[in-house]
Structures are given as structure tokens and as C-alpha cells.
Amino acid sequence: MLNATMLPEANFRLPDTLAGELATFTLLGLFCMFSYFEFNFPREQQPLKPLRLSYKTNIGLLIVNSTFMSLLSLSSLFAIAHHHSGQGLLRYVSSPALQALLSFLALDLLLYFWHKACHQFSSLWMFHRVHHNDLYLNTSTAFRIHFLELLLTNLLKAAYIVVLGIDQLLVLINETLMTAFIMFHHSNISFAGEKLLGRVFIVPYLHHTHHSTERNEHDRNYGAALSLWDRLFGTIAEVKPKTVGIKGRSPQNMISLIGFGFSQLKSPNTQTLPANLDEMIAEAAYYRAEKRNFKPGYELIDWLEAKKEIIKLIYCEPPTRARRKPQRNNLFLNLIPRH
């Protein structure tokens, strides 16, 4: 992610100032290119006014986060790399090319597990949902990050730099590449060969699934650059989401969005759904069919009604029907895991 930690610090000398400037201009150029294509050749048609608000909010957060991080010299990735370069695990690897490859793979794997944790733990999701509440995905969504999530992410990156002993130039290269990938997979574009490229990298159609309002879809495709980790750990999903964002009302302007990251979780989207939700619905639908002696022609109705009942019970909402046999209620309740 592009932020102030990618800029030279006053208390040490960057090996090549030109490299930092080149990285900044490269990312700015990529941002403009992705934005141009999504405005002129969009994957999904988006209303102009909300899209402009999205850009305004996301760029505002980028500026706030960059200012915030620039005040925290201890979390500066370049400063840490300056002091720990060559002292970590990579000192046992003699080839600079192999060092670069291993450091990039390690960073991408770290971000995969960190991203997954941000979805699984409510205390982290509270901040991460700021990123997910963008209703119109675009290149600038890459920078829609709550400043506390940004701080925690950079602390993890700092630990990764110390453990591996990565030098400043390699930090700059990895940060530039990762920011480019993140802007790319948030962009509202499509292109020939996208699915083929998605076998190796996280591309827009994969990450758009991750921004679905449906929990069973947005708890997928956690990768930042490579889709390898999602395929390896079974979290890959290749479906087109009906809607993106988060369920329930949430603010879209910058100031309110920062406060939203500190608010309590109220949306059903933030609750943990059972992993075997489909099995629960299937069993409930089977029960309904059994009551009718499996009379054909009602399969879809049974499934939809069963899904409605299960969701209502999970969220402790009153059932749609007042008359219900006690045995049937007990059956549905027994399907729901205890927390």
C-alpha cells in the first residue's frame, strides 16, 4: 500500500533517492492508467456521482494515513530496514535474485494470513470493514484503509523485515510491486485472458468476489498478489458477486468513515456464520420435503424457505410464521452450532 512509510526518512540515507522517486512516479502512473481504463472501459457500469464520492473518500484516507504514518518514525519500514539489513534469515541466501524472490513470497504469504485474520476476528474486522464498505470498487479503493489497520499492517511488515533482514532497496521494490497489485485487482476493469492470468495472480474478477456482501463469498480470495495461497489453502472462489460492500447502512464520507471503524458491529454481515451453512439448509429442506412425502416440484421452494428459516434463527429474529410445531423448531435449532 502506498503511504508515507515509502518516503525517505530524515534520520537515515536511502541508498538511492532516485529509486524512491521512480517508485512513486511508477505507482502514480499506474493509478492514472487503471483509473482511465475503468472510467472508459468499465467492468461494471457505475453511477458517476457515488463513484466520485468513493474516489474523494479514498484519496482523503490516503492523505490522512500518509500523514499519520509519517509521524510514527518507529514504524517506518525504511528506517527498520536500515538498521536490520543483512542480519536476518536472508543472510544465508547468497543469490540476490533468490533473496528478492523469497522476500516477495514471504510478504505475500504474510499479507494473506493477515487479511484472513482481519475477516475472522471481530476486533480486526471492525477496522477492516472500512475497506469493504465501498459500494463501487475502483482503483482508489486500494487506499480505503482505516489508519489503525494500516498501523497494525506496518507493524507486521516491520517484524517481517527484521526476521528476514531485508535491505532498504528490496523493501522499496516489494512495497512498489505490492501496491501495484493491490491497485490492479481493485480496479473496475476486465480484459482478455483475465481468467488465465488469475490462475497465478489475484485479478479484478477474483477480488471483486472478495468484496461481495455475502459472507460465504467475501471470506474468499484473500491474496494480495498471488492466487497461489488461496488455491493452496482452499479459499479460492470464482463467482460474480451480485452486490459489493457490506450489509446495513454505513457512512461513505471520510470523517464519518474513520469513526465508523471504531463503532460496534451491528450488521449481520459482521457476525460469524457457520461454516456448514449450506449443509444446514439442505437438511432443513430435506425435512420439509419429507413432510410432503417428497412430492416433486417443490424443491426450489423448499430450499428458499429453509434458507429463510435458518438465517432467521442464526440472527435470532422471529420466524415468519407464528404457528410452528415444537419438534420442527428444535430440529432447526439443533442444526446451529453453539458459540
The amino acid occupying position 222 is Y
Burial class (CB in 10 A: 0-12, 13-18, 19+), 332: buried
Q: What is the mean pLDDT of the chain?
A: 79
Q: What is the C-alpha to C-alpha distance for residues 136 and 44, in angstroms, rounded to an integer?
A: 9
pLDDT at 274: 59
C-alpha distances in angstroms, 260 versus 79, 177, 253, 257, 303? 32, 30, 10, 5, 36
Q: Which residue has the higher pLDDT, 183 or 304?
A: 183
Tens digits of residue pLDDT in 27-42: 788 888 888 888 777 8
Q: Has residue 85 got a pLDDT over 60?
A: yes
Residue 74: band (very low, low, confident or very high) from pLDDT cuts 50, 70, 90: very low
Q: What is the C-alpha to C-alpha distance for residues 307 and 305, in angstroms, rounded to an integer?
A: 5
pTM for the whole thing?
0.66
Q: Percentage of the chain with pLDDT > 90?
A: 40
- Expressed in percent and rounded to 5, the helix, strand and coil fractions of the chain are 65, 0, 35
Using the Cα atoms of residue 25, residue 26, residue 27 and residue 28 in order, give the sign of their dihedral: positive
**Could you give the 3-state DSSP secondary structure of residue 119?**
helix
C-alpha distances in angstroms, 51 versus 142, 188, 253? 14, 11, 12
pLDDT at 111: 97
Tens digits of residue pLDDT in 251-279: 888 888 889 988 876 544 444 555 566 77
Tens digits of residue pLDDT in 228-243: 999 999 999 999 999 9
- Residue ranges of domains in the chain: 4-260, 277-335
Q: How many CB atoms lie within 10 A of CB 31?
A: 20
Q: Has residue 135 got a pLDDT over 50?
A: yes
As a whole number, mean pLDDT of residues 181-199 equals 94
- On whether the CB atoms of residues 184 and 103 are closer than 8 A, the answer is no
pLDDT at 330: 46
Residue 289: band (very low, low, confident or very high) from pLDDT cuts 50, 70, 90: confident
Length of the chain: 339
Burial class (CB in 10 A: 0-12, 13-18, 19+), 203: buried
Number of H helices, E strands in the chain: 15, 0
pLDDT at 16: 52
pLDDT at 65: 72
pLDDT at 288: 72
Residue 174: band (very low, low, confident or very high) from pLDDT cuts 50, 70, 90: very high
